[in-house]
């Protein structure tokens, strides 16, 4: 996957130990670079991490993080650090209506893009009119949408006659929550990409993966991987600024624990942290342009409610919960078998009103709604509960957002940008972060005259989609 660099002495300082920084760091360390991965927190993983929650005394993920078969670069990163087998895969999606009636979406043996059709047609969750509307929309999205389209998903759905059932139970719930925004704030090309990858290209691309271990355990091999190749992982190290010493052709990175010198710099921060660091980096016209791009981004929240009961609530591993504020149920006792107790996690995506609720109001609402899907909740004793609100969970992909997503090239010499918001063509996901890390690592290698290959290509569409996707 990687080549040994010709010059093992070249060093790289990477700011940010999220998925972007880790995937870049491991790819570069694997290619012979001396990597110094600098992270302000005491653990790696950034937004996709786990930690000991003091209120419940359990290590919990900061939210369930799902990936899909099409996440080729994230899987490449997991493969490089030897944890790809820690992902549990499923091809079934159970939708539950209040009252408990269930429908299943998932692939059949038909060739793509027809593989999901039999289950969609038999799903109780959709009326005949909903199914016809969905069929029409999915057919229209089989062909790629022009990348420069400025239309929103909401406007396109209106033009394409979607019913209330299709809007509420599919577009708002499944698609808008995968992109973590409201349909009127989602760029059509991004929505079309998600539809093609998850539902049309192939059953493999759309299969859903969830970690069998807490997220930070997935990254346990990152530090030994980098250290065994001459590098270092510096935790609890906040970066305050950096300057390029043109005479020595080296970067000097100012941290709260002292200065770090490196041949190259790779900045793998989310947009708001990049915006804070920018005034402490060399000023130039390109840096000003970057500041303007950063200013165009906005955040969307994700909340999760972590519940431990005295008994099993359901034997389902996960489900989509229809028509309510709570959207997704993950049965962590089943997904992460080393856990004790009966632990369910509920996820509420892109809902600013839920994020604004007081803690007890949010928990009461979640429990009340959960009981509508699983009546046993009313008899069960709630042993402990944690509510996590992340108002800065993801960046939005509104129409025209690509103009505000810079490439891996930075305004400065021997410096590269990564982070999920960099121009990867993907929405705010771990895959976008891993892609950005690999793109930045490849660009660094190229400019250093030590080309390395770490970027993973997309899965090829299968069946009839091979003809339609062009
Ligand atoms: C609640 C929630 C649910 C999500 N669900 C999913 C999901 O189901 N599937 C999915 O694919 N994605 C999901 N995401 C999105 C995903 O987590 C992110 O897209 C991805 O993790 C971003 O990685 P990153 O490396 O670009 O940024 P980050 O993870 O933000 O990493 C940046 C790192 O830089 C560090 N840092 C910041 N400033 C400094 C500084 N000055 N000095 C040193 N270090 C610094 C931070 O501490 C952080 O560790 C979710 C996100 C959240 C918050």
User: For ligand 1, is residue 428 a contact (CB within 6 Å)?
Assistant: yes
- Please report the pLDDT score of residue 9 as a whole number: 60
Q: What is the pLDDT of residues 358-370, one digit of tens each?
A: 999 999 999 999 9
pLDDT of residue 399: 97
Whole-number Å distance, alpha carbon 432 to ligand 1 midpoint, is: 11
Instruction: Reduce the DSSP state of residue 440 to 3 states and report it.
Output: helix
Residue 5 pLDDT exceeds 50: no
Q: What is the pLDDT of residue 467?
A: 87
CA of 269 to the centre of ligand 1 (A): 8
User: Is ligand 1 within 6 A of the CB of residue 24?
Assistant: no
| CB 262, CB 251: distance < 8 Å | yes
- C-alpha 386 – ligand 1 centre gap (Å): 20
Give the model's pLDDT for residue 2: 40
Nearest-atom index, ligand 1, CA of 19: 25
What is the pTM (predicted TM-score) of this model?
0.97
Q: Judging by beta carbons within 10 Å of its beta carbon (0-12, 13-18, 19+), is residue 249 exposed, middle or buried?
A: exposed
What pLDDT is recorded for position 470? 60
Q: Is 47 in the pocket of ligand 1 (CB under 6 A)?
A: yes
Encode pLDDT of 88-128 as tens digits. Answer: 999 999 999 999 999 999 999 999 999 999 999 999 999 99
| pLDDT at residue 7 is higher than 80 | no
- Mean of pLDDT values over 153-166: 97
**Confidence bin at 418 (pLDDT 50/70/90):** very high
With beta carbons less than 8 A apart as the criterion, state whether 437 and 23 touch.
Answer: yes
CB of residue 307 inside a 6 A radius of ligand 1: no
Buried b (16+ CB within 10 A) or exposed e, 73-101: bbbbbbebbebeeebbeeeebbbbbeeee
Residue 213 in contact with ligand 1 by CB distance below 6 A: no
């Amino acid at each position: 996957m990687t080549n040994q660099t010709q010059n093992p002495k070249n060093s790289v300082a990477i700011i940010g130990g999220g998925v972007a920084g880790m995937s870049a760091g491991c790819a570069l360390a694997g290619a012979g670079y001396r990597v110094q991965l600098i992270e302000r927190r005491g653990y790696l993983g950034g937004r996709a991490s786990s930690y000991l929650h003091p209120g419940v005394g359990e290590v919990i993920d900061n939210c369930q993080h799902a990936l899909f078969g099409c996440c080729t670069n994230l899987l490449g990163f997991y493969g490089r650090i030897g944890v790809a087998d820690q992902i549990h895969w499923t091809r079934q999606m159970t939708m539950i209506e209040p009252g408990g009636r269930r429908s299943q979406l998932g692939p059949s043996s038909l060739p793509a893009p027809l593989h999901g059709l039999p289950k969609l047609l038999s799903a109780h969750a959709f009326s005949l009119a909903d199914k016809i509307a969905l069929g029409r929309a999915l057919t229209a999205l089989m062909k790629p949408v022009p990348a420069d389209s400025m239309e929103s998903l909401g406007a396109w759905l209106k033009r394409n006659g979607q019913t209330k059932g299709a809007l509420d139970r599919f577009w708002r719930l499944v698609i808008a929550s995968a992109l973590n925004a409201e349909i009127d704030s989602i760029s059509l090309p991004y929505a079309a990409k998600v539809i093609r990858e998850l539902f049309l290209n192939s059953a493999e691309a759309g299969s859903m993966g969830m970690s069998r271990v807490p997220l930070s355990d997935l990254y346990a091999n990152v530090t030994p991987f980098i250290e065994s190749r001459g590098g270092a992982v510096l935790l609890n190290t906040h970066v305050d600024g950096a300057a390029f010493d043109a005479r020595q052709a080296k970067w000097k990175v100012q941290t709260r624990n002292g200065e770090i010198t490196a041949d190259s710099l790779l900045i793998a921060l989310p947009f708001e942290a990049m915006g804070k660091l920018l005034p402490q980096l060399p000023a130039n016209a390109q840096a000003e342009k970057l500041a303007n791009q950063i200013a165009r981004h906005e955040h969307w929240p994700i909340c999760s409610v972590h519940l431990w009961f005295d008994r099993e609530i359901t034997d389902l591993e996960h489900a989509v919960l229809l028509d309510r504020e709570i959207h997704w149920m993950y049965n962590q006792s089943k997904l992460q078998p080393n856990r004790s107790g009966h632990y369910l996690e509920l996820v509420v995506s892109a809902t600013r009103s839920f994020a604004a609720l007081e803690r007890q109001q949010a928990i009461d609402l979640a429990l009340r709604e959960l009981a509508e899907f699983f009546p046993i909740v009313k008899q069960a004793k709630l042993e402990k509960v944690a509510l996590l609100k992340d108002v800065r969970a993801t960046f939005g992909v509104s129409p025209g957002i690509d103009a505000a997503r810079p490439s891996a090239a930075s305004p400065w010499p021997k410096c590269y940008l990564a982070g999920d918001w960099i121009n990867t063509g993907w929405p705010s996901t771990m895959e976008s972060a891993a892609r950005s890390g690999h793109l930045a690592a490849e660009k660094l290698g190229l400019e250093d005259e030590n080309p390395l290959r770490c970027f993973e290509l997309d899965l090829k569409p299968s069946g009839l989609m091979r003809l339609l996707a062009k």
